Structure 1
Amino acid sequence: MQIEFKYPFILLLFLPVAFLLYRYWKQMKLMTNRKESQVILFLRTCIFSLLIIALAIPQIVLPQKETQVVFLMDRSASVQDSGDQQLEWLEKSVQNKNEKDEYSVLSFGEKATIEQMMGKEGLRFPKWNEETGKDHTNIEGAINLASSVFPNNSGGRIILFTDGNETMGNLTEAAKLLKNRSIELDTVLLQSHSYEDTAVSEIEVPSTLYEGEQASVSVTIESNIAKSGLLHFYENNNKIVSKSIEIKEGTNVIPIQFPVEQAGLVTYKAELELTNDAYAENNKLQVVNMVKTIPQILLVQNDSNKALVQIMEGAGYKVEVRSSIQLPTVLSGYLNYQSIIFNNIAATDITENQMSLIEKSVKDFGVGFLMTGGEDSFGLGGYFQTPIEKLLPVDMDIKGKKEMPSMALMIVLDRSGSMDGQKFSLAKEAAARSVELLQETDTLGFIAFDDKPWVIVEPKPLKNKEEVVNKIRSVPVGGGTEIYGSLVEAYDQISDLDVKRKHIILLTDGQSATNNDYEELINEGSKKNVTMSTVALGADADRNLLEELAKLGAGRFYDVQDSTVIPSILSRETVMATRTYIEDNPFYPNIKSGYGWDTLFSQGIPQMKAYIATTPKAESTVPIESTKEDPILAEWQYGLGKTIAFTSDVNGAWNGDWARWNQWSSFFTKVVANTLPQYDSEAYSLSVEKEQDRTYLSVSADKLSMLPIETTIISERGEVVEGNTKMIAPGKYEVDVDNDPGLYFIHVKQTDEDGNVTVYQSGFTIPYSDEYLITGANEEKVNELLAITDGSQLEKESQAFRPLKNPVKQKQEITEVLLFISFLLLLIEIAIRRLGLPVKFLAVFEKKEGVKRQKTFKQKISSAPRETPVSIGKEAQLDSNRETNKKQAKPPKKTKKLNTKEENENHLDQLLEMKRKKKR
């Protein structure tokens, strides 16, 4: 055991303290009670010494007896089959540990996690944590977490199970930090199994492709074994080539030829179909290319009317017609079009995700968008508060411009246990949207039912919308399903209300008894102008019953498989219940000048029959409007894309004489042309460089410029990806993004000093992780790691808990103990000086000592031989005594030493002796 001081320089305070104590000791000679002063001097010396030592932070250094070990287990894909081997090694190691030894278990892949905290108990985690991510190996992050498990300033050992292959981080930097903390690092080398694996490593596509040309590309395949298989090649997820190939061991380059049929941003993908292959993740690879062509338009309509197709093809556009159920579900499915047209499409036919992808393609990639009117469009289509409404230049709601007929809406919602989850939350949110669409004079009721109906909101005018919304959102999930009783309650609540329109919406995902007389109930309600629509949620709903109820109730039936369309259904039903959104009085639209449209109407303005009422947004322009100042044609810039709303139809039912107008084709062609993107795909070039844990995009401009650029990166799923953009040279930029494999699209925008905007869009692929490349164990990297940490490669389990090479000694501070002792001594010192108790004790002690010394002195005198006194006269003797008394009575000089108590007693004895002689 030894003592160390954390701040040894503080011990220099002993010098001034020693000087002060010395001065106090010198002054003690002038004090009358020297014993008390000596005790105080001793106590103060102890107090000062203890305080100075305490300030220097003394630490008792003791050797650390137990060994602390952290087992760091690799769970990445490259050693995916070694889990049992690592667990067996761990169990045998724990059996060989001493009683005081402690250990912890961590697992890692892309992330590290603690499986078992530091302790002495046996293994107690039931299974490996699967959230570490197997796509990457981050040894640096794992070592950093493992080192934090050890208490501060304590040593230990980390045993790393690894094959030495890292795909993220820098393990050598982490190893250097371990050495600074005196933490040993040993390894257990994991050998990769002999997998058969084949991987697509590269796709080479010409930098410039043109629609209709015969393109030649090459696919590079790496394999560690010779085998046969199939190679599939896709263009925008459409398989265009499928061929059998013979793969040899090593590098294989497979040529592919195909006609380019898609335009715009086109995704090409190569995919291998093999048997007995180790990793499926590396069997496919994608690239993105810009294919130049004439504008390509996506026309979305659910009827077979060819009129619009003929008009656009006559203008030189390439048109692809799809129904609403055929819309793409990934972002790349929209980016190869220059414009998208929704021709009388209801929001209830499109999922929320599809609408979000369209909104991103318009905002971030400049794709145009046009919505035309009809009974399934705008507000009547259920677009209130959807991503499509966000991108349009008009709002679906009519903001107080019309006197709405009074109406009552009753929403009957299933709250049985099977509704729990997203669809119940979306259904309540949809009901809340319906509240926002209604006027304060409208009536809303809300019934939630399970095995019986629960009236949550009684049907009454919406004087306090916020209170009603809060009640709806607070409804919990309940028990069973009983539909008939809830409909009886709904009809009883709404039938006798004094309003012009009464409508019930029933939403359920279950089945109920069908022996009740639904027909009589609905017929009685119909006599009082009550209508009803039904919504079947999920595969378990009784579709036959619900469809029949909607038919009897003169409403609509919705079969919902994707719960995200529920809000659109309820907003559509709410709007359709009013029927006031359709303006069906023939009129002549007003054409405003200055927007470039008036030249088409030089020969007159045709009459229009009907349109859907909407409200223009503040930033939009309305070049054509109705006599009621409602938008007929509204347009605006939404992000990078141009969007237009034409609120009448284009099939002739609503637009009246416009369909027979001799300028109709020119008018519609101009509408479509105004939505086309205005960007230059050649303004920049893009290259991708992948490092261990990051991907860097190099963006080079065709002109040297010091102006910054704005970049937007979106994944194929429509998620915005964060990227850090910086300029590295004039006209050269670097974008730092994460390293998640997948297909991404980038949009670049630059604004010059004059306000001119240059736009560029492209795509790139981050390939699969190097984790899926079979390279074997990296013993060179492991040896480099052991050289830094002076560790060992373990062969036996018994080596895990061997004594540390340089055991860290435990340090225990004793500052608190010293301070406590000095406090006690201070109390004693104060008691001596102030309370007086110890002084009395000392006085008694001093009296006893004085009597003892006096007796001893007298004994010495009596035993000594006496001399014969010389005879002198009385006068001479008296004079002599007086002189002696005067001399003895003289006060001592300051420089002379004060008489001690023993000398005073001797002096007293002499006086007594002289007095006896005088009497003789």
Structure 2
Amino acid sequence: MGIEVKYPFLFLLLIPAVIMVFLYIRYHWGKGKEIYLIASLRLAIFCLLIFALTVPQVLLPVKGQAVVFLADRSASIGGNDEALAWIENSVSHRKNEDQFAVAGFGENVVLEQNLGRNREAITEFNGKTDDSQSNLEAGLQFAASIIPRDSAGRIVLMSDGNETAGKSLETASVLKNRKIEIDHVLLKTASGEDVSISKLSVPPSLYLGEEAPVTIEVTSNISKQTDIRLSVNHKEILKETVQVKEGKNVFTFSHKADTAGLTVYKAELAADQDAFAENNTLHSVVNVKGTPKVLIVQGKESGDIASLLKGSGLEAETVLPEKLPTVLSGYLQYQSIIFNNVPATVISENQMKLMEKAVKEFGTGFIMFGGEESFGLGGYFKTPIEKLLPVDMDIKGKKEMPSLGLLLVMDRSGSMAGNKIELAKEAAARSVELLREEDTLGFIAFDDRPWEILETEPLKDKKKAIEKIRSITPGGGTEIFTSLEQAYSELEDLQLQRKHIILLTDGQSATNGDYDLLIESGKEKNITLSTVALGQDADRGLLEELAGMGSGRFYDVTDSSVIPSILSRETVMATRTYIEDNPFYPSVHPYPDWNSLFENGVPKMNAYIATAAKPRSQVPLLSEKEDPVLAEWQYGMGHTIAFTSDFSGKWSGDWTRWEKWPSFINQLVTKTLPQYESEPYRVSVENRDGNTVLSLESAVSKSMPIETSIVSETGEQIEANVRLTAPGKYEATMPESAGMYFLNIKQTDQNGNIQVHQTGFTIPYSEEYLQKGENKEHLESLSKMTDGVELASPEDAFRPLKKPASTKQPISNWLILAAFLIFFSEIAIRRFGLTALAASVWKSSIKKKEKPDAHMKIQKLKTYREAQSPSVQAAVKRQGETSVKITKEKVTGKKKQNRTKPSAEPSPKEREERMKRLLDAKNRKNK
């Protein structure tokens, strides 16, 4: 038991308090001894109040102690059997009052067993930790948070001591102030044969056709054979078997830069019985300057753009939409992307997002040509592609459309749970947004029976309809025919120009029905049917047959992210009025870049897809209905163009026979090419305390403000604040996460001119995947700082703490109460004086003492009278009567002088008092 104070410096207030009391005594010197008492009381009051201000707390010892076992579960440890065995043995030696908890850590921390007086410890780790880092700081902070605040405790750290993230020594200093000890148990690191790529060096910039040296540095802990593979933009260019020796090995290869743009070099190792596969890959990004490269994504019957561009000096590559890249680097190697009559239903949402990032953040150009599977007809409504284009796909309110009845029949069985049903609901919501309020909409969700979510009627409240659709939850089985039959019955009697049903399911129907009769009777009522098969378990044969019979379209979907595009495309195609197929001559707006092409007139055009120009876009060509035929704008760093007619000539008519058609296409592509400056930035990457620090250095050392954009290989935007550290030098800090990243630097000079530089960098794998052995020194430093030790045996984990745990009880209120009581006493002394108070107290005590003495005398008298003989009592009685009579006569004689009163017998009380006086008189006489 002890006392501690929170603000001990407040004891300095005792100095002025003593001085004030001293001055009081000096001023009242010689005025009595009461002055010393008052001064003492005042000093006591000051002391009590000042002591209360320091917030004193009584320390009460706590029985037992709190111990947190913190186990390293990073990759460098390998298995956790050693740590589990230590915990189990330690817990078996604890006392009944002791509490313990178990936590595991890697890059993150997981609580395995909460703090308590558990009888047994866990036998295996169940929490999921990221083993790519050893974040000792996070682990210690978490373990300390388990120990009750303001209470001592112990953390048993079981690790190899290799810290790859965080600053554990700083955390240890904080724990020392909390009286938390850190004991440690040294765990062995994972052992085994390991070969790793420690460095990949390629020049940061190359020219097209330049022979580039590629250096690969390999580190191994054993001599063995391994395969080295080198790829450029995900295409393997080299594979060689080499002999590596123990230690550092350097291999140099060469490669001719044969493609322009950002080029990704990837080095890989393949070795038998390798401990860590994570350290076998490294990337390097190179900016190759040369002929601009264009990616052409070609649909069906769309013409051949690549052959036309070859004569313009551009390098073109044509791919099918199904073969589009799935990583950002796959798009950054191109300076422009062309979509030629490509439907959105075969492109995943993620691929669209990557292209949108390439355009916005890195200046890649984008062109979309029209056609039956492009723009709104292709299902691009509310997609990332629509976001980057200068036109909107929705044209509601611009023209009279035929009356439409749309009924959605969607599977809500248990197999649709999760992402599939969420995307299906989002798709249905987009379809609602595309409809007009006068259109008719119905929605049936089915499992083993149909559920009518929206009654088939004119769409009056879109917001309410979307809310109902998004409230759908998964149900039971799958039964298609009954729901489809209900959908046909609700549409067949409606007087509408277009009636369309969209059926979406991922399963097989539990029952069979007469689909032929149902669909044929529906066709007589002008009802069409499209079907969507989602996933591998869907009945593709049935759904494809139903779509064929229903004069609709069948979609075989393997990536559920395309569902929204499918439903929006179906909604648009149900109207068939997005295609404007009346031949016309486009009108030209006076934009200087295009005027020279149309000096001799504009060719005739057959058709185009109706769209709406966005507010900031430029529209050089307009239709007779003032719809955009050619629109362009700047989207972020990139320039995008929409040409709503087609390239094949089916819609564009005389344009493909126009002598300036090749120049027109070439100008379209040229306008979308990024305008890069040649000013380079040197980029370097280093690790500081678990964070990646990106250093940028300008070759001209000018301190101009810059804007940077960092995007990962998967298209994720990385937040990084760039700060100026020196003239022409900048730094950006970002979380450490291994992988490849692309950097876009935008600098604005004093005249407002913008210069752009593109590059890339890689963050290598964590040091966790390097076999560095145990770092015992680091663990000893942590223990020494907090008065901990290295545990020699498991039972030592619950040994007594050097600074035992205790609870704190504040006593400030009691001190203040005591000060007030003394204060009131001091007031009483000053008001009445010490002598008066003492006399009053003495007088009060005397009165209390007299009362019991008189009562005692009366009792003695009664006892004495009872003890006398009858003769003595009679004599005493006669004597008393004579005395009383004489006294009475005297009194009576005196009263007769004034007035005459009748005599009366004395009362018993009077007689008792008389007897008392007689006895007193007798006693005095005997003395």
TM-score band by shorter chain is: 0.7 to 0.9
Q: Deviations along 1:656-687, whole A, 9 cap, x unmatched?
A: 11111111111111111111111125432222
Q: Tell me what 2:170 maps to.
A: 173
Q: Deviations along 1:573-619, whole A, 9 cap, x unmatched?
A: 00000000000001111122233212122333211100000000000
Choose 766-775 or 753-762, whichever is displaced more: 753-762
Q: Percent identity?
A: 53
Q: Deviations along 1:298-322, whole A, 9 cap, x unmatched?
A: 0001347663111101111111110
CA distance in 1 between partners of 2:547 and 2:495 (Å):
23
Which of 25, 44, 58 is 1:60 aligned to? 58
Which of 217, 222, 227 is 1:220 aligned to? 217
Which of 653, 657, 673 is 2:654 aligned to? 657
Deviation at 1:395, TM superposition (A): 0.3
Alignment check: 8 A CA contact 1:10 1:56 kept: no
Secondary structure in 1 matching 2:798: coil
Matches within 5 A, 1:412-431: 412-431=409-428
Q: Deviations along 1:471-519, whole A, 9 cap, x unmatched?
A: 2112222222111111111111011111111111111111115641101
Which of 333, 341, 344 is 1:344 aligned to? 341
Choose 545-554 or 230-239, whichever is displaced more: 230-239
1:348–1:820 CA distance, 2 compared to 1 (3 A): same
Q: Tell me what 1:323 maps to.
A: 320
Are residue 117 (structure 1) and residue 94 (structure 2) matched?
no
Alignment check: 8 A CA contact 1:236 1:267 kept: yes
1:454–1:847 CA distance, 2 compared to 1 (3 A): same
Deviation at 1:564, TM superposition (A): 0.8
- What's the TM-score, normalizing by structure 2? 0.85
Alignment check: 8 A CA contact 2:302 2:646 kept: no
The one-letter code matched in structure 2 to 1:751 is T
Which of 465, 474, 482 is 1:485 aligned to? 482
1:855–1:70 CA distance, 2 compared to 1 (3 A): closer
Q: Tell me what 1:247 maps to.
A: 244
Q: Deviations along 1:762-816, whole A, 9 cap, x unmatched?
A: 1000000011111101223333334433432222112222222343565433445
The one-letter code matched in structure 2 to 1:60 is V
Which of 74, 77, 98 is 2:75 aligned to? 77
The one-letter code matched in structure 2 to 1:693 is G
Which of 274, 282, 291 is 2:271 aligned to? 274
Are residue 701 (structure 1) and residue 684 (structure 2) matched?
no
Q: Tell me what 1:158 maps to.
A: 155
1:523–1:64 CA distance, 2 compared to 1 (3 A): closer
The one-letter code matched in structure 1 to 2:563 is I
Which of 69, 75, 83 is 1:86 aligned to? 83
CA distance in 2 between partners of 1:851 and 1:90 (Å):
78
Q: Deviations along 1:188-209, whole A, 9 cap, x unmatched?
A: 1112243211100111112332
Deviation at 1:19, TM superposition (A): 11
Deviation at 1:846, TM superposition (A): 2.9
CA distance in 2 between partners of 1:29 and 1:163 (Å):
75
CA distance in 2 between partners of 1:18 and 1:655 (Å):
108
The one-letter code matched in structure 2 to 1:432 is A
Which of 437, 447, 450 is 2:447 aligned to? 450
Q: Deviations along 1:695-749, whole A, 9 cap, x unmatched?
A: 1122122323222110000000000011120011121111111110000001110
Deviation at 1:9, TM superposition (A): 6.0
Secondary structure in 1 matching 2:604: coil
1:597–1:61 CA distance, 2 compared to 1 (3 A): closer
1:829–1:595 CA distance, 2 compared to 1 (3 A): same
CA distance in 2 between partners of 1:174 and 1:266 (Å):
43
The one-letter code matched in structure 2 to 1:739 is E
Deviation at 1:255, TM superposition (A): 2.2
Q: Tell me what 2:254 maps to.
A: 257
Choose 559-568 or 187-196, whichever is displaced more: 187-196
CA distance in 2 between partners of 1:68 and 1:112 (Å):
19
Q: Deviations along 1:821-871, whole A, 9 cap, x unmatched?
A: 8999999999xx9xxxxx999988533534799999xxxxxxxxxxxxxxx
Q: Tell me what 1:847 maps to.
A: 847
The one-letter code matched in structure 1 to 2:230 is F
CA distance in 1 between partners of 2:146 and 2:294 (Å):
60
Alignment check: 8 A CA contact 1:370 1:645 kept: yes
Which of 287, 290, 299 is 1:290 aligned to? 287
CA distance in 2 between partners of 1:319 and 1:799 (Å):
72
Deviation at 1:124, TM superposition (A): 4.7
Q: Deviations along 1:35-88, whole A, 9 cap, x unmatched?
A: xxx9x999999999987876665543445553332222111111122x110110
Q: Tell me what 1:314 maps to.
A: 311
The one-letter code matched in structure 1 to 2:735 is D
1:99–1:383 CA distance, 2 compared to 1 (3 A): same
Which of 604, 617, 621 is 1:620 aligned to? 617
CA distance in 1 between partners of 2:411 and 2:652 (Å):
41
Are residue 601 (structure 1) and residue 591 (structure 2) matched?
no
Matches within 5 A, 1:489-500: 489-500=486-497
CA distance in 1 between partners of 2:142 and 2:662 (Å):
68
Count of aligned pairs between the two proteins? 842
The one-letter code matched in structure 2 to 1:755 is G
Matches within 5 A, 1:547-696: 547-696=544-693
Q: Deviations along 1:149-175, whole A, 9 cap, x unmatched?
A: 333343332222121211112222222
Q: Tell me what 1:767 maps to.
A: 764
CA distance in 1 between partners of 2:209 and 2:365 (Å):
24
Alignment check: 8 A CA contact 2:14 2:47 kept: no
1:585–1:151 CA distance, 2 compared to 1 (3 A): same
- What's the TM-score, normalizing by structure 1? 0.85
CA distance in 1 between partners of 2:524 and 2:855 (Å):
137
1:21–1:292 CA distance, 2 compared to 1 (3 A): same
The one-letter code matched in structure 1 to 2:647 is V
CA distance in 2 between partners of 1:482 and 1:842 (Å):
105
1:56–1:288 CA distance, 2 compared to 1 (3 A): closer
CA distance in 2 between partners of 1:143 and 1:79 (Å):
18
Are residue 743 (structure 1) and residue 731 (structure 2) matched?
no
Q: Tell me what 1:410 maps to.
A: 407
Q: Tell me what 1:727 maps to.
A: 724
Q: Tell me what 2:888 maps to.
A: none
1:466–1:182 CA distance, 2 compared to 1 (3 A): closer
Q: Tell me what 1:879 maps to.
A: none
Deviation at 1:461, TM superposition (A): 1.5
CA distance in 1 between partners of 2:812 and 2:479 (Å):
75
**Which structure 1 segments of 5+ residues have no match?**
31-37, 834-838, 857-911
Q: Deviations along 1:252-277, whole A, 9 cap, x unmatched?
A: 11222334333210111111111111
Choose 784-793 or 344-353, whichever is displaced more: 784-793
Secondary structure in 2 matching 1:77: coil
Secondary structure in 2 matching 1:384: coil
Q: Tell me what 2:875 maps to.
A: none
Alignment check: 8 A CA contact 1:76 1:134 kept: yes
Q: Tell me what 2:860 maps to.
A: none
Alignment check: 8 A CA contact 1:399 1:615 kept: no
CA distance in 2 between partners of 1:520 and 1:840 (Å):
119
Q: Tell me what 1:861 maps to.
A: none
Which of 506, 509, 516 is 1:519 aligned to? 516
